[in-house]
Amino acid sequence: MNALNALDQLWELLCLNPKEFDIAILRSPDDNTKNPFVLQEGHLGLHAGDLPWLARDFRTAYRTARLQDCDSVLKVTSCLLLVCPDHATAWADRKRALLSVQCHEDLWTRELDFVNLLMTRHTKAPTSWFHRKFVLQQRILQLLSALPPPPPPNDDHDDQENTFSTTCTTTTTCIYSNMVQLARDEIQICARIADRYPKNYYAWTHRSQMLQKIHHMLQDDSTSGTRTLADHYTQLLQDQWQSTTRWLQSHVSDHSAAHYGGMVLQLLRRQQLQQHNPQDHHQVPDNDTTQLVHAMMISSITVAQQLVERHPSHEVLWIFRRICNHEFLCYAMAITDDEDDDDNTALLLNSSYWKDHIDIIFCVEGNNHDNSLEAQRTQLYQLSYVAWMLEDVGRLAKRFDSWNDLVRRVRLLQGVTQQEYQTLRNTVLTQLRERKETIPFYQQQQHPQV
């Protein structure tokens, strides 16, 4: 089969319904007489022995198509990128071609379907993720362009004005709902990719960017429809927090998931504070809002602690616990800015939060007789966590004039003197240095064998 016939045949298959396909590489003996493509039960199969000559011939066809119209570029790059997903020049030409023919209303939706097909096989090609981000930006701009204009100035036609306002609000709400649904679809696709190909940094980063994009839109826009967008967005963040904690229960070594969970918790904290205080993002939240966010932050600490208790020898879960506690301290600093707000500060009276971290040290000291590798890992991670916790409290202390002022405002430290804090900090850092010098696996990480 020559290059032109192979190109036309693959293009016909892609025109059927690419959203229902996934790519599979068929490991079969070389046979130049067989068909290089197989479509069966939703699987688009490419014979492994045919990939070299397909890549060579598709590149040749691509060089010719670059001199022709945009439709030819889209056709050839669709076939070439299935075989060579990291062809940066082909992606660039494809972007220019898409921008030149964006007369079709569903252009960007169909392009997302093509990228989805590509990522059923090629999930870690950086240029394909960059292209996906570009397509989503164009799709979001397309949705935003359909927003109705602002209402006209007040006049005597109250009935017409109310009708116009109602229509605009309905249209805006529908568009923002579609935008959140687009984010949900993207997150679902990324979750499926991460499940099939674990520890996929690009998938987790793309999920983060989608959530941050909506967050920035809420910060910049103040139209009436953003209230609906904010409600949907808050629910989306809550769903993501729950799904990420469930994911970490079965993927205890996934660094990307741990940091994604911390980012979701941060956005959720900011969103709930902003949603209840929309007029001023910098004002101290009221007591009801503080209680709501306080309960959420305590719940996150509990979840992180439970994960560590189940799998104490996994460093990722200790990092996740560190992130959750950092968010709690950021929240604690935010609500202690107002010295006259005793109700908010009263929520920090729970001294068990600080006591739990001190108890970790005694747990380490009590397990010194256990010399197993798993126990040594756990002890090192415990000490590293407590050392970080003490350093974070030290940074918090710099916000206040004296240690007593810090204890008065942040009562997590109630009953702890500055001298006790310094002694505890020095003890932990000394033990941490000693552990690092004696644990074999840490020495191997620091000095790998060549």
- Nearest Cα neighbor of 189 from 210, 168, 170, 169 is 210
Residue 155 falls within a domain, yes or no? no
Q: Tokens for 202, please give them.
A: 């690009």
Question: Looking at the domain assignment, is residue 8 inside a domain?
Answer: yes
**DSSP track, 123-163:** -S-HHHHHHHHHHHHHHHHHHHHTSPPPPPPP-S-HHHHHH
* Within-domain flag for 29: yes
What pTM, to 2 d.p., does this model score? 0.82
Q: How far apart are CA 246 and CA 223, in angstroms?
A: 35
In the prediction, which pLDDT does 283 show?
Answer: 47
User: What average pLDDT does the structure give for the chain?
Assistant: 78
Say whether pLDDT at 63 is over 60.
Answer: yes
Among 39, 71, 103, the domain-final residue is 103
Domain that holds residue 66: 1-103
The verdict on residue 393 lying in a domain is yes
Q: Is residue 419 domain-resident?
A: yes
Q: Where are the beta strands (DSSP E) in 289-439?
A: none
How many domains does the chain divide into?
Answer: 2
Residue ending a domain, among 83, 103, 123, is 103
Q: At 349, is the pLDDT very low, low, confident or very high (cuts 50, 70, 90)?
A: very low
pLDDT confidence of 347, banded at 50, 70, 90? very low
The whole-number pLDDT of residue 172 equals 79
Q: Give yes or no for residue 268 having a pLDDT over 80.
A: yes
Q: Which of 34, 69, 103 is the last residue of a domain?
A: 103
The answer to whether residue 283 is domain-embedded is no
pLDDT in tens, 305-340: 899 989 988 999 999 998 998 888 777 766 655 444
Burial of 310 (0-12, 13-18, 19+ CB in 10 A): exposed
Domain annotation covers residue 423: yes
> 377 in a domain, yes or no?
yes
Find the DSSP H helices in 22-50: none
